[in-house]
Chains A and B, each alone.
Chain A
Amino acid sequence: MHRPERGKRVGLFIPCYIDDFYPNVALSTLELLEAHGFDVEYPERQRCCGQPFLNNGMHREGADFARHFVETFESYDYVVAPAGSCIATARYRYEGLVEADRLAALTPKLFELCEFLHDVVGVENLQLKHPFPQRVGLHNSCHALRELKLGTPSELNLPHFSKIKAILSRVEGITIVDPARDECCGFGGTFSLQESAVSAMMGRDRIADHRQQGVEIMTGVDRSCLMHMEGLARRDGTPIRFLHVAEILAGRTEESDG
């Protein structure tokens, strides 16, 4: 197998909430990248990408985090994160906050995990060793779908594709189920606090949509969206599990110790 990228240095970006709440997602990502021959490093000095501040119009605070992100990660060949929304922030919202040439050099090296596996590793080179014979509902998180363009959103008249599905369908035994709507789950960071009523209805609607397709496990590339829905499902006692795509790919699908 030809692997021109083997041995390249990957900087692993782990969003704060994954570090704290979902270490399995981060471990899965690390293991996957290593299994595909990359030299992966988790720089401990890393901080939040700044999204909560930028999305709230607090650009001064956001700029601090943006600069720190660039400084922390610019020396790597690639920067990979198991989070579409943080990568979208760095790719699309740092403009004007950090030095343009340093940003321009970093941006093409930024990848969401599935995007990296698809675009850099290549679907045909994937080494996935863990079967997962389950029906899995794929939640298309907005930043991954509409900003990072990991798939064709239903709004556009373009040929259908999905990088996430292309990767996930390589898992032995898996059945990927699409919900009726590829709609937002209503998390939106502080939106879920400020507009809690609308946010909760959006999340519950997504869960109900998946349940209607006979799904008992939901997955996606943004654990933040899944976390929001998980909080709602637990409140309601809805029997549904949430797994990050990385956990399925790496076979870490048992209940975590959280």
Chain B
Amino acid sequence: MVDHARNAAAFLQNPERARWHDRALWHVRQKRDLAVKAVPEWEALRRAAEEIKGHTLQHLGYYLERFEARAQDNSIEVFWAEDAKELQQIVGKLLQEHGASKVVKSKSMLTEECGLNPYLESLGIEVTDTDLGERIVQLAEDRPSHIVLPAIHLKKEQVAEIFARKLGTDPNESDPFRLTRAARKHLRQKFLEAEAAVTGVNFALAEEGGIVICTNEGNADLGAALPDLHIACMGLEKVIPSARELGLFTRVLARSATGQAITAYTSHFLRPKPGGRLCVVIVDNGRSHLLAGRQEKLLSCIRCGACMNTCPVYRRSGGHSYETVVPGPIGSALAAANDSDKYASLPFACTLCSSCDLVCPARIDLHRQLYQERERCIRVPKYRGKRRGLKAAALFLRYPGLRRTAMGILGSLMPKLPRSWIYYRFNLWGREHEMLRPARRSFSRLYKERKQ
């Protein structure tokens, strides 16, 4: 079982780093606020995005079939995968048939979720992540800690060290500009050599039968432009009715994600390039099971990462503390919905502050989702002690008179007790806080005296 509290405490062992992480992401949140406040109809856009996502999920079967038919009209090949394994096999087979041994990949949380890279590598295929953050993480043999900013947990000096080791750059050169230029040069070569491209999908247009990919770096466009095979992998929730609705989502995505008005590239792949193949793989991998319940709303997520940037816990515990592909509020809700035993601690890694609900461009009720997941998560064996403690507390709080008397005794005892008795190791409150002393006379006593 993932122990978020333990992972978070480990992250906070380096307070300076944690403070940096918090500030860097809060800065992104502030950029988002500025961008959002420049759009007077912002809150109406969020309501519309929520409505469109709800509508699309309500007719999901229709829109997926429509997308498939229209994409096929456009000479796009459509594949379906039940789970991670099927996605791996479909992509592996397509690449092998194509004779591709070198693949460039642009960012896709779905392929990360489905473990595509290790699978392709097991087939002897070289996979190069081309998003800078993902490439850094790949070279470091690390994992992304954020869905939009995969390497936000690394400092530039660490990147310099990784690049020096893997790309032969100067280890003392930690200027982000120079490091980025070095990566551009290194990856340009990979692009030119690639025999196939694998990308994710931000939106699939049912009516137009095409896919839309949003990047800032241009890596999806460059990757897909050179080789003759482009495989795009999408979760089935990525479909939207038509380009008309895209007009709304392209207004909210980048503003929510990074505070940009739009990503540098919003690319519409509606037909294969001349002489090339464009294959789209539609993946379920547990998604359809979330439908028809209160968790359905989780499928409205457009993966902007705003809930991570705003989450006070995420910012102070780091993306890796969740041990999931998608961390933060949305990741915790998804993980608990899919496997409440393994991820039972994640819904509790939350103060229910509900800041995430308010930045979510699709208005997902994230804090409510996490609140509700707790009902299943509290039942795992690991929380037996906590459950018993709470049951005892419930019994205690049921008798206000008993509670008041006990508190009164505690109040008079506390000053007489040695510190070590009060701050014994099971006093969880005392780990960080001074104990506060109950008042000499409780309000209820004062109230009674006042009435007499």
A residues lining the B interface (CB < 8 Å): 14, 16, 18-23, 26-27, 30, 42, 44-48, 52-59, 61, 64-65, 93, 142-143, 146-147, 153-158, 181, 183-184, 186-188, 190-203, 205, 227-228, 230-232, 234-235, 256-258
Assuming A16-B397, A21-B438, A191-B351, what are 12 further A-B pairs, CB within 8 angstroms? A20-B439, A44-B447, A57-B373, A57-B379, A155-B358, A183-B353, A184-B353, A190-B348, A192-B432, A197-B432, A201-B18, A231-B436
Nearest first, the 7 closest Cβ-Cβ pairs linking A and B are A231-B433, A188-B351, A57-B374, A155-B358, A184-B353, A200-B432, A234-B434
B residues lining the A interface (CB < 8 Å): 4-5, 8-9, 12, 15, 18, 22, 26, 33, 36-37, 39-40, 42-43, 310, 312-313, 316-317, 347-355, 357-359, 371, 373-379, 386-387, 390-391, 393-394, 397-398, 400, 403-404, 407, 411, 428-429, 431-444, 446-448
Q: Are B352 and A142 in contact (CB under 8 A)?
A: yes
Report B-chain residues with C-beta under 8 Å of the C-beta of A205: 22
A199 to B350, CA, bound (A): 10
Q: Are A257 and B440 in contact (CB under 8 A)?
A: yes
Partner of A183, one of B312, B347, B371: B312
Q: Are A27 and B398 in contact (CB under 8 A)?
A: no
Q: Are B312 and A258 in contact (CB under 8 A)?
A: no
Partner of B12, one of A155, A191, A201, A258: A201
Report B-chain residues with C-beta under 8 Å of the C-beta of A187: 351
Closest Cβ of chain A: how far from B1's Cβ, in Å?
14
Partner of B439, one of A21, A157, A197, A199: A21
Report A-chain residues with C-beta under 8 Å of the C-beta of B351: 142, 184, 186-188, 191, 199, 202
Closest Cβ of chain B: how far from A48's Cβ, in Å?
4
Q: Are A23 and B394 in contact (CB under 8 A)?
A: no
A contact patch SS: helix
Q: Which residue on A lies nearest to B311, using beta carbons?
A: A184
Our count of residue pairs bridging A and B at CB distance below 8 angstroms stands at 212
Partner of A198, one of B317, B358, B373, B400: B317
Partner of B390, one of A46, A56, A257: A56
Closest Cβ of chain A: how far from B2's Cβ, in Å?
13
Ordered by A's residue number, 29 sampled pairs between the chains whose C-beta atoms are within 8 Å are: A16-B397, A16-B403, A19-B443, A20-B407, A20-B438, A20-B439, A20-B442, A23-B441, A26-B447, A47-B397, A47-B400, A55-B371, A56-B348, A56-B378, A56-B386, A58-B390, A65-B398, A154-B33, A155-B359, A156-B358, A157-B39, A192-B432, A196-B428, A198-B317, A201-B15, A203-B432, A231-B434, A234-B436, A258-B439
Report A-chain residues with C-beta under 8 Å of the C-beta of B313: 195, 198, 202
Q: Are B358 and A19 in contact (CB under 8 A)?
A: no
Closest Cβ of chain B: how far from A205's Cβ, in Å?
8
Q: Are A228 and B348 in contact (CB under 8 A)?
A: no
Q: Are A44 and B400 in contact (CB under 8 A)?
A: yes
Report A-chain residues with C-beta under 8 Å of the C-beta of B390: 52-53, 56, 58, 61, 190
Q: Are B446 and A23 in contact (CB under 8 A)?
A: yes
Closest Cβ of chain A: how far from B222's Cβ, in Å?
35
Report A-chain residues with C-beta under 8 Å of the C-beta of B5: 194-198
Report B-chain residues with C-beta under 8 Å of the C-beta of A54: 371
Q: Are A58 and B394 in contact (CB under 8 A)?
A: yes
Closest Cβ of chain B: how far from A154's Cβ, in Å?
6
Closest Cβ of chain B: how far from A58's Cβ, in Å?
6
Q: Which residue on B lies nearest to A193, using beta carbons?
A: B428
A70 to B411, CA, bound (A): 31
A194 to B351, CA, bound (A): 11
Report A-chain residues with C-beta under 8 Å of the C-beta of B438: 20-21, 258
Q: Are A20 and B9 in contact (CB under 8 A)?
A: no
Q: Are A142 and B354 in contact (CB under 8 A)?
A: yes
Partner of B443, one of A18, A181, A230: A18
Report A-chain residues with C-beta under 8 Å of the C-beta of B404: 19-20
A18 to B357, CA, bound (A): 29
A142 to B312, CA, bound (A): 12
A98 to B387, CA, bound (A): 22
Partner of A256, one of B354, B411, B439: B439
Report A-chain residues with C-beta under 8 Å of the C-beta of B428: 193-194, 196
A232 to B209, CA, bound (A): 57
Closest Cβ of chain B: how far from A113's Cβ, in Å?
14
Q: Are B353 and A142 in contact (CB under 8 A)?
A: yes
Report A-chain residues with C-beta under 8 Å of the C-beta of B18: 201
Q: Which of B22, B313, B441 has the most CB of A within 10 A?
A: B313
Q: Are A192 and B400 in contact (CB under 8 A)?
A: no
A188 to B347, CA, bound (A): 12
Q: Are A27 and B352 in contact (CB under 8 A)?
A: no
Q: Are B429 and A192 in contact (CB under 8 A)?
A: yes
A241 to B317, CA, bound (A): 28
Report A-chain residues with C-beta under 8 Å of the C-beta of B348: 56, 190-191, 194-195
Report A-chain residues with C-beta under 8 Å of the C-beta of B411: 20
Q: Are B43 and A158 in contact (CB under 8 A)?
A: yes
With A157-B43, A231-B429 in contact, is A61–B391 under 8 Å at CB?
Answer: yes
Q: Are B43 and A142 in contact (CB under 8 A)?
A: no
A190 to B444, CA, bound (A): 25
Q: Which residue on A lies nearest to B408, using beta carbons?
A: A20
Q: Which of B351, B376, B390 has the most CB of A within 10 A?
A: B351
Q: Which residue on B lies nearest to A58, using beta carbons?
A: B390
Q: Are B37 and A157 in contact (CB under 8 A)?
A: yes
Q: Are B37 and A53 in contact (CB under 8 A)?
A: no
With A20-B438, A231-B432 in contact, is A188–B350 under 8 Å at CB?
Answer: yes
Closest Cβ of chain A: how far from B341's Cβ, in Å?
14
Report B-chain residues with C-beta under 8 Å of the C-beta of A52: 390, 393, 397
With A20-B438, A64-B398, A146-B355 in contact, is A181–B446 under 8 Å at CB?
Answer: no
Report B-chain residues with C-beta under 8 Å of the C-beta of A198: 5, 8-9, 12, 313, 316-317, 349
Q: Are A22 and B439 in contact (CB under 8 A)?
A: yes
A47 to B438, CA, bound (A): 18
Q: Are B12 and A197 in contact (CB under 8 A)?
A: yes
